[in-house]
């Protein structure tokens, strides 16, 4: 199942939209040993080293600075906790703090790496972008980063997520041999997505999970998968944002999601909110969503329209400009 993670989607979408900002001159650093860069960004510096070397070189040994790789820049924006040495002002994006808030879902080696990186963020980074107010609250609880250095910039929805033609959905359903009615779940992060309870809550309607029950589809086909489903059931215990919520809404698929954290923040009043710890609450949420599909579809369209990658890029560009002038 081609369902990229939130960090990968954020990096790709934000980069492509920042590239279109006329006031910015962007340079990009890409690192992978085996996979060459194949995107459409200009001025990309590829650095062919393995991740096992890249991580300690950037965040532990720190023997190479950014300027040696891409030349002098005013601002260096990193994602996923990467903190190399640089003379530029620094911005980083933190998508969630799951390794600190719920260490039982991580392994000790990952926690140790993030602890080391967080110390660098606390000491060196001028601005921290977080993707929800929920992540900001969590970050303030687990770090020494002052609130004035943390800026909330929401993620967006790719323009391809819109209601597809009925005939295309019908052809897609036939091609993948999908049942006439099914509830969609999103897999990929172990027990955090609460899939066992979601499956039990679906009752007699098949609960099909990406990465587990469904054949591989392309990113371009994801709107068809959302549209084919009766609803998206997303009662996760924790998310930094929750892109599938907005993607499903933009396509016209009702959403049942958790009443906690970023999921409630992103969904607003446009989804059925449930207690992820209470199976009865999830079951009731599914029943409500199936009965009120039309109302949820309309409210979902309105909610999804509030978020866009263009808006995220505009706000990120404004942050750069303000930081450069400070």
- Provide CB contacts within 8 A for 312, sequence distance 6+: 13, 14, 17, 153, 154, 155, 156
Q: What is the set of domains in the chain, with CATH numbers?
A: 6-156+309-325 (3.40.50.2000), 166-304 (3.40.50.2000)
Q: Average pLDDT per run of 10 along the chain, which is 326 residues long?
A: 70 96 96 91 94 90 94 93 93 96 92 94 97 98 98 97 98 97 91 96 97 91 98 97 98 98 98 98 98 98 98 98 93
Alpha-carbon distance of 212 to 190, in angstroms, equals 12
Alpha-carbon distance of 284 to 286, in angstroms, equals 5
Side by side, which strands form the sheet with 89-94?
A: 75-79, 89-94, 127-130, 150-152
Tally of CB atoms within 10 A around 306: 14
DSSP letter for 165, please. Answer: P
DSSP letter for 85, please. Answer: B
Q: Are 145 and 118 in contact (CB under 8 A)?
A: no
Question: What pLDDT was estimated at residue 2?
Answer: 39
**Cα distances (Å, whole numbers) of residue 171 to 39, 124, 178, 185, 227:** 30, 53, 10, 21, 12
- Provide CB contacts within 8 A for 281, sequence distance 6+: 274, 275
Classified as helix, coil or strand, 52 is helix
Classified as helix, coil or strand, 210 is strand
Alpha-carbon distance of 326 to 316, in angstroms, equals 15
Give the predicted TM-score (pTM) of the model. Answer: 0.96
Question: What pLDDT was estimated at residue 3?
Answer: 45
Question: What pLDDT was estimated at residue 261?
Answer: 95
């Amino acid at each position: 199942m081609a369902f990229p993670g939130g960090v990968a989607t954020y990096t790709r979408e934000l980069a492509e939209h920042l590239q279109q900002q006329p006031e910015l001159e962007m340079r990009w650093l890409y690192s992978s040993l085996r996979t060459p860069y194949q995107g459409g960004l200009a001025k990309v510096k590829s650095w062919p080293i393995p991740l096992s070397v890249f991580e300690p070189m950037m965040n532990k040994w720190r023997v190479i600075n950014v300027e040696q790789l891409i030349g002098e820049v005013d601002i260096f924006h990193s994602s996923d906790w990467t903190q190399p040495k640089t003379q530029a002002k620094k911005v980083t994006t933190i998508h969630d703090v799951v390794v600190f808030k719920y260490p039982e879902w991580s392994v000790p080696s990952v926690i140790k790496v993030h602890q080391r990186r967080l110390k660098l963020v606390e000491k060196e980074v001028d601005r921290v972008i977080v993707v929800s107010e929920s992540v900001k609250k969590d970050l303030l609880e687990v770090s020494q980063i002052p609130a004035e250095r943390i800026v909330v910039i929401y993620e967006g929805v790719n323009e391809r997520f819109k209601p597809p033609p009925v005939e295309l959905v019908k052809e897609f359903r036939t091609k993948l041999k999908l049942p006439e009615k099914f509830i969609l779940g999103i897999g990929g992060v172990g027990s955090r997505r609460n899939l066992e309870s979601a499956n039990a809550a679906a009752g007699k309607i098949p609960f099909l999970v990406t990465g587990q029950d469904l054949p591989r589809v392309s990113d371009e086909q994801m709107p068809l998968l959302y549209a084919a489903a009766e609803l998206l059931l997303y009662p996760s215990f924790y998310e930094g944002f929750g892109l599938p919520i907005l993607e499903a809404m933009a396509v016209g698929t009702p959403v049942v999601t958790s009443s906690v954290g970023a999921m409630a923040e992103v969904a607003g009043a446009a989804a059925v909110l449930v207690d992820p710890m209470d199976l009865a609450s999830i079951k009731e949420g599914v029943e409500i969503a199936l009965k009120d599909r039309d109302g949820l579809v309309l409210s979902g369209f309105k909610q999804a329209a509030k978020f866009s990658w263009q808006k995220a890029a505009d706000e990120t560009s404004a942050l750069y400009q303000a930081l450069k002038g400070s």
